[in-house]
């Protein structure tokens, strides 16, 4: 299959939407951290510390998700430049790396969703007690 300019260009909307979703998750966690900070100032309890640890993990994963998505986006742009300059072999290689970076970003997103679910389970457990 011949790689054309339109193929890496197809990643632009996908990566842009992914970045919007990742940013929304980041903003939600930032707001939650601010709320937990106020509660932590009042009383530092075990469940609250569990939530803080979960949020710290999630924040790190979201940072990695965003970085790999940005890297994928950057590589897609480089691919288009290489196609334009007719360096087809390198365009294929860079585009493959771009796809791998996007896959990694999505895998990290899946892991973050799993951690998010665990954090909600902690909340539910605290309400039952």
Question: Does residue 76 belong to any structural domain of this protein?
Answer: yes
At residue 100, the pLDDT reads: 96
Which are the contacts of 9, defined by CB distance < 8 A and separation ≥ 6? 76, 80
Model pLDDT, residue 33: 80
Q: Is the dihedral of CA 21, 27, 30, 36 positive or negative?
A: negative
List all residues 6 or more positions away from 100 whose beta carbon is below 8 Å from its beta carbon.
none
98 falls within a domain? yes
3-state secondary structure of 23: helix
Locate 73 and state its tokens: 């986006």
Enclosing domain of residue 118 = 6-128
Number of domains present in the structure of the chain: 1
Cβ atoms of 127 and 63 closer than 8 Å: no
Residue whose pair of structure tokens reads 């979201």 in the numeric block: 62
Residue 108 to residue 112: CA distance in whole angstroms: 6
In a domain, 107, yes or no: yes
Mean pLDDT of the chain: 85
Classify residue 1: in a domain, yes or no: no
Q: Would residue 63 count as lying in a domain?
A: yes
Over residues 37-67, the pLDDT tens digits come to 777 777 766 667 777 888 889 899 999 999 9
């Amino acid at each position: 299959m011949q790689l054309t300019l339109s193929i890496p260009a197809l990643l632009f909307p996908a990566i842009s939407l992914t970045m919007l979703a990742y940013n929304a998750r980041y903003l939600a966690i930032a707001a939650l951290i601010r709320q937990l900070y106020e509660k932590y100032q009042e009383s530092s309890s075990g469940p609250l510390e569990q939530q803080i640890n979960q949020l710290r993990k999630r924040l790190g994963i979201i940072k990695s998700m965003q970085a790999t998505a940005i890297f994928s986006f950057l590589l897609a742009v480089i691919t288009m430049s290489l196609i334009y300059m007719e360096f087809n072999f390198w365009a294929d290689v860079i585009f493959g790396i771009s796809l791998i970076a996007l896959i990694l970003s999505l895998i990290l997103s899946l892991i973050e969703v799993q951690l998010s679910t665990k954090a909600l389970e902690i909340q539910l457990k605290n309400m039952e007690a």
